[in-house]
Amino acid sequence: MTQRLETISGVPVLFLAGAPGGGSATDLVAVALEAGARWIALSASGLPQGFLDLSSGVAGEIAQKCVNYGIGLAVVGDIGPALSRSSALRDWVRECNRGGHVGFLAGEAELADWLAAQEGT
């Protein structure tokens, strides 16, 4: 797992290229809290096993743990192949992107714009 902490639109964001430890929700939140991040940006290519299969419960568990601890979650990168296979995933991604806690974004520039809108800057 590689990580870097950046401030984007005044928000500390922890970029993770892979899932820490076993990729559990607790591991992700612990790493973010330790780094002082308010958002986690997970690389789409390094998502924990089963994340994009909603029936596995992995995405829901991670998203809920982040919300419980006041940490935003962004998945950054191309998830197009998974979206084309699952209407439920498409619906969930669309709903997440309308809210302010979880987002699915194509790249870091889109993440910066999205965070600026979320933070009202």
Confidence of residue 60 (pLDDT cuts 50, 70, 90): very high
Q: What is the pLDDT of residue 120?
A: 66
The mean per-residue pLDDT over the stretch 55-64 comes to 94
Rounded Cα distance, 23 and 101, in Å: 19
CB distance 111 to 74 below 8 Å: yes
Work out the end-to-end distance of the chain between its first and last CA atoms, rounded to an integer number of angstroms. 31
Which residue ranges make up each domain of the chain? Answer: 3-119
Q: What is the pLDDT of residues 99-109, one digit of tens each?
A: 889 999 999 99
Q: What is the pLDDT of residues 1-14, one digit of tens each?
A: 689 999 998 999 99
Confidence of residue 22 (pLDDT cuts 50, 70, 90): low
Rounded Cα distance, 57 and 50, in Å: 8
Confidence of residue 18 (pLDDT cuts 50, 70, 90): confident
Q: Which CATH class is domain 3-119?
A: alpha beta
Q: Which residues, other chains included, contact 5 with Cβ-Cβ below 8 Å and sequence gap of 6+?
A: 12, 13, 14, 15, 35, 36, 37
